[in-house]
Structure 1
Amino acid sequence: MYTRRTHRRTRTAAIVMAAALLATACSSGGAMSASPAADAGGPTEAPPLAALPQATPPALASYYGQKLNWRDCGVPGFQCATMKAPLDYAKPAGGDIRLAVARKKATGPGERLGSLLVNPGGPGGSAIDYLQSYAGIAYPEEVRARYDLVAVDPRGVARSEPVECLDGREMDAYTQTDVTPDDERETGELVDAYKKFAEGCGSDAPTLLRHVSTVEAARDMDVLRSVLGDEKLNYVGASYGTFLGATYAGLFPRRAGRLVLDGAMDPSLPALRLNLEQTAGFETAFQSFAKDCVRQPGCPLGGPGTSPDQVGKNLKAFFEKLDAEPAPTGDAAGRRLTESLATTGVIAAMYDEAAWPQLREALASAMKANNGAGLLALADSYYEREPDGDYSNLMFANAAVNCLDLPPAFSSPDGVRAVLPDFEKASPVFGEGLAWSSLNCAYWPVEPKGEPHRIEAAGASPIVVVGTTRDPATPYRWAQALAGQLSSGRLLTYDGDGHTAFGRGSSCIDSTINAYLLRGTAPKDGKRCS
């Protein structure tokens, strides 16, 4: 499963948890609870995450006591450094991993409040890119004045010994693979694509792949906290970043300071349940888009009075047409708009309602003029493909962490077929493709070492958990679940569309979070904003 962090000003990818390629939201519904797949595992069965000892183990003392050599990043106002962490915390003498760190020092005036670590999500999103392109310049001025804003690219991500799996041409082919196979031949081609992707990751970093878990990344954050000289970790995490932040709180509850978890995940769910609920979330977001689209002139999916269900049928028919005959795009690499790329383009626009006009135009161009360039551009932004054909390591790191953190949703194509009706009920538009996308971890070269678990973080200071009611990537129910698990969780609800809430236009959300970060004033549990 994949989630991403978006902004009106800049799109910074971020990701979520499990194994599909795309992202999320949650339905309330009876349809989910009626599903046998949805009932497999869940909060009542998941054990709690155990806290680590308060005292730093002697074998880790050199890591906790290291000094960072800050230098100019090449980006005005930002400094960069490299931090060492043990590759394997169980065997810290076995070797180091080097993690890239960046900061923007507090600008003043006002008393400095320490460091504020930020993470945009993922796994796979670059926290340093997020800091330099968004948080360090667009976070509220009062927050930037009183905190040193800090980012670390998690292990295996971007500048921190990145996992690499496929080159640009191979990735182009991978993203065009048909994920709605019609027969055994197409199913075999999809399985082969997943195997080639996994083999590429395994050959690039066979040892690193065993040590990119969320628990290890959270332990790295505690090393960074110590190196920065902070008694407690202050943190803003979005999307998958909420899972990372909650994991930190679970491991080190007495060291958790002011934590904002925006677009929260539910760590108690197994991969299949996560993917199924995320599929329903995309349907929720699409229904909201559909209602808006038919009110706009030129909506290619229907006119005034067209029901959201019919809009979905019209889009599904368009996808099926592309499955039979991809549309030209004018792409320099010769890529055509396949069903899989078109689906990715539509899903990319679900993350931010500000992208809906762009999606309408792209769909109109593709459906009426047989020009797939607009939808291809949306898909490329989702995959972080550069104009020269290179890709960031976003999707590689995403799979590496997800496939290590949880057992796979499926072990074979037969498993997918068995629950296809559940996915298609959750989303008639996206269900089939997202079900088959959930197969990718079945072929991963490294055994998973995580399991679903509750995070209680007993003894932690109040933790603010933010949920958006029609979030397409992290369902609102997940925020409710995480806030309920955390012993000090405070649920803050944004009644709206799009993925995450902080910095997306709600003065109520922003002022509430600012009060918490600046004065430690946590909102009353259950506060709602619009």
Structure 2
Amino acid sequence: MNRRLLGARGIAFALVAVTLLATNPLPQAAWAWQSTAEPNPVAWAPCLQVIGIPLDPAVADCAMYQVPRDYMSGRQDLISIAMLRRRATDPARRIGSLFVNPGGPGTSGLHMAYRAERILAPDVVARYDIIGFDPRGVGLSGAVKCFESQEQYEQTFASRLVVPVTKAEVTAAMRAYRDYALLCAGNAGPLLPHLTTLNVARDLDLMRSSVGEEHLNFVGLSYGTMIGATYANLYPERVRAMVLDGNVDPQLRTHNGLEYDRQRAAGLELVLNAFLDYCTAAGSSCAFSEGDVRAKFVLLRERLRQGPVVLPDGTQVTLSNFTGRLVDGLSVAAQLPELARSLADLYELVQQGTEGRRESGPTDVGSAGWFAIPAADVAGRETTGETPYRFGDSGQGFNCLDKPYPPAPTVLPVLARLWEHESPTFGRMHAFEGVPCTVWPVHWWNADRFSGPWNRNTAETVLLLGNRYDAITRYDFARSMASHLANATLVTVDSFGHTALGLNECADEISTRYLLHGELPSPGMTCSANSPAFPTVGA
């Protein structure tokens, strides 16, 4: 083996080991916070009045509910959590309240509740009040924002690529991420240190009590499974019904952010390979099936490493947006045929040899790189833009406090080279995703966070759903969740796509029986896909 590579690998693994050794779960007294007073009941009112959105008052109402900003300080600083209740359509047969979370982190949960029929069966919507909420720091719950304007955001990330390859691209990406962290330190506000899933679970327990429920009913998708697993181990006796779909690996996620990201990349690579195999087997039903499918794909990927391909309309396909398009397409089963057509069109253009090539990468920021930028260089810049910043940064905040990363940003470009040997399509992208957390202004080891144990016995069995070809939370994560939770059963869905509820009839039937009647599926249950990945042409 190359000595230089071996040395880099040793450095990277040593940093991972430091991260693992430094991770010290908080003592039970710290995370098992209990309120000394009964929470105030939620004051529901028309959504137009509460959140400024004219939703049908006959269907839903809203509230702003106050919770502690910092559960550990003993101070009385409060923040407001935005809640939306879609009332049961058959109130005479109402079972109770069902809280939902769509994942993220950083995603609003209000729309998920208002459009609950997209993931929940009519009988569930009829018999539960469906309650969605914006977690702390998200949307209407005191959105955490690192930029003062949209122009400042665009300026900061102007030369950053999500899959940087050349030295100039890597340097530009590293500099942009440090600028980002510095801006978060100056602009995000006092809630930034308290963006942990532990605090979201505490908020959820207060909301549960505030709507008059003694026990929690909960449906969590993707990152929402992390909220559910955390709640289940903080308050196991209060779990009545919990469906977790598109599961994370809670142990790995809270103990080793780097390894978690590496395994996400490897999982995506497995899904991509399955997609190429299915395409080959589908023949003419898959637009990309002619010839050696895998060889054609590798040719496209390696061509894009050399520079962008210019489409006839002038649009540039870069390695970064190509990789992003793959992730999006592989995450939704219904998009697989369109993804295959896009690959076929791009391959035909490359074969013609008329596409554009790289003349230069993003502006080289200089050999000093991002290390030489003093904090004042970012904090003191004038921002002339006046367009309100459209996004939010709570998702990054949750990731950086929940997922431990070593404070050593220079290891990430090293890992990018290592990971792409194992995951040539997605390894580099996932390695650079962790850069902001290595320079984040709040250190995870000082945060009020929960990292287990995950094996407390819940009052009722938790129902887990896992797609076999999930591109975002790999199927192995669902199996890991099942092994860590003391009282859970896993249903495997033999399908592509991220999450199954509302997309797979079998999974919907199982979750409906569980939520309405407490019925559990047989151990080892597997659901078939609704339809093949590539339906027969003309069918």
* TM-score for both structures, normalised by structure 1: 0.79
Alignment CA distance shift 1:246-1:37 (3 Å): farther
Deviations 1:370-417 (CA, angstroms, capped at 9, x unpaired): 999xxxxxxxxxxxxxxxx987535x221111001122266222x224
Give 1:474's aligned residue: 473
CA distance in 2, matches of 1:210, 1:436: 23
Could you tell me how far 1:352 is from its partner in structure 2? 0.7
Give 1:72's aligned residue: 47
Give 1:380's aligned residue: none
Task: Return the match for 1:443 from 418, 439, 443.
Answer: 439
Deviations 1:171-198 (CA, angstroms, capped at 9, x unpaired): 4563862244445443321111111222
Alignment CA distance shift 1:283-1:110 (3 Å): farther
Q: Is the 8 A contact 1:235 1:260 kept in 2?
A: yes
The 3-state SS of whatever aligns with 2:106 is coil
For the pair 1:404 / 2:386, whether they are aligned, the reply is no
Q: What pairs with 1:25-44 in structure 2 (closer than 5 Å)?
A: none
Q: Is the 8 A contact 2:500 2:507 kept in 1?
A: yes
Q: Is the 8 A contact 2:89 2:127 kept in 1?
A: yes
Q: Is the 8 A contact 1:466 1:494 kept in 2?
A: yes
For the pair 1:271 / 2:257, whether they are aligned, the reply is yes
Could you tell me how far 1:56 is from its partner in structure 2? 4.3
Give 1:493's aligned residue: 492
Could you tell me how far 1:460 is from its partner in structure 2? 2.9
- Larger deviation, residues 223-232 vs 103-112: 103-112
Could you tell me how far 1:524 is from its partner in structure 2? 3.4
CA distance in 2, matches of 1:303, 1:72: 50
Q: What pairs with 1:350-369 in structure 2 (closer than 5 Å)?
A: 350-364=330-344, 366=346, 368=348
Deviations 1:389-446 (CA, angstroms, capped at 9, x unpaired): 987535x221111001122266222x22443454223311121222122222111111
Deviations 1:91-150 (CA, angstroms, capped at 9, x unpaired): 343411111000110011662110000111010111112223x32555211000100000
Could you tell me how far 1:37 is from its partner in structure 2? 8.7
CA distance in 1, matches of 2:111, 2:346: 32
Sequence identity percentage: 31
CA distance in 2, matches of 1:479, 1:368: 38
Q: Is the 8 A contact 2:103 2:224 kept in 1?
A: yes
Q: What pairs with 1:233-312 in structure 2 (closer than 5 Å)?
A: 233-269=216-252, 270-294=256-280, 295=282, 303-308=289-294, 310-312=295-297
Could you tell me how far 1:337 is from its partner in structure 2? 4.3
Give 1:190's aligned residue: 173
Alignment CA distance shift 1:54-1:36 (3 Å): closer
Q: What pairs with 1:126-141 in structure 2 (closer than 5 Å)?
A: 126-132=108-114, 134-136=115-117, 139-141=120-122
For the pair 1:314 / 2:299, whether they are aligned, the reply is yes
Alignment CA distance shift 1:390-1:345 (3 Å): farther
Alignment CA distance shift 1:224-1:271 (3 Å): same
Q: What pairs with 1:302-451 in structure 2 (closer than 5 Å)?
A: 303-308=289-294, 310-321=295-306, 324-325=307-308, 327=310, 336-364=316-344, 366=346, 368=348, 393=391, 396-408=393-405, 411-413=408-410, 415-420=411-416, 422-448=418-444, 449=447, 450=449
Alignment CA distance shift 1:472-1:54 (3 Å): closer
- Counterpart of 1:241, as a letter, is G
Give 1:17's aligned residue: none
Q: Is the 8 A contact 2:323 2:425 kept in 1?
A: no
Q: Is the 8 A contact 2:44 2:61 kept in 1?
A: no
The 3-state SS of whatever aligns with 2:88 is coil
The 3-state SS of whatever aligns with 2:229 is helix
For the pair 1:144 / 2:125, whether they are aligned, the reply is yes
Alignment CA distance shift 1:163-1:192 (3 Å): same
Structure 2: 5+ residue stretches without partners: 1-11, 49-53, 356-386, 529-539
Deviations 1:283-311 (CA, angstroms, capped at 9, x unpaired): 112112223445465978x5435243x24
Alignment CA distance shift 1:436-1:429 (3 Å): same
Q: Is the 8 A contact 1:136 1:149 kept in 2?
A: no
CA distance in 2, matches of 1:97, 1:363: 47
Give 2:483's aligned residue: 484
Alignment CA distance shift 1:390-1:360 (3 Å): farther
Q: Is the 8 A contact 1:312 1:429 kept in 2?
A: no
Could you tell me how far 1:488 is from its partner in structure 2? 0.9
Give 1:514's aligned residue: 512
The 3-state SS of whatever aligns with 2:55 is coil
CA distance in 2, matches of 1:175, 1:71: 41
Q: Is the 8 A contact 1:106 1:149 kept in 2?
A: yes
Alignment CA distance shift 1:410-1:478 (3 Å): farther
- Larger deviation, residues 460-469 vs 194-203: 194-203
- Counterpart of 2:455, as a letter, is E
Could you tell me how far 1:355 is from its partner in structure 2? 1.3
Q: Is the 8 A contact 2:45 2:63 kept in 1?
A: yes
Q: What pairs with 1:113-192 in structure 2 (closer than 5 Å)?
A: 113-132=95-114, 134-136=115-117, 139-166=120-147, 167-172=149-154, 174=157, 177-192=160-175
The 3-state SS of whatever aligns with 1:268 is helix
* TM-score for both structures, normalised by structure 2: 0.78
- Counterpart of 1:195, as a letter, is R
- Larger deviation, residues 403-412 vs 82-91: 403-412
The 3-state SS of whatever aligns with 1:277 is helix
RMSD of aligned residue pairs (Cα, Å): 3.2
CA distance in 2, matches of 1:221, 1:463: 17
CA distance in 2, matches of 1:146, 1:520: 14
Q: What pairs with 1:222-233 in structure 2 (closer than 5 Å)?
A: 222-233=205-216
The 3-state SS of whatever aligns with 1:261 is strand
For the pair 1:107 / 2:89, whether they are aligned, the reply is yes
Could you tell me how far 1:211 is from its partner in structure 2? 0.9
Alignment CA distance shift 1:38-1:190 (3 Å): closer
Give 2:77's aligned residue: 95
Give 1:524's aligned residue: 522
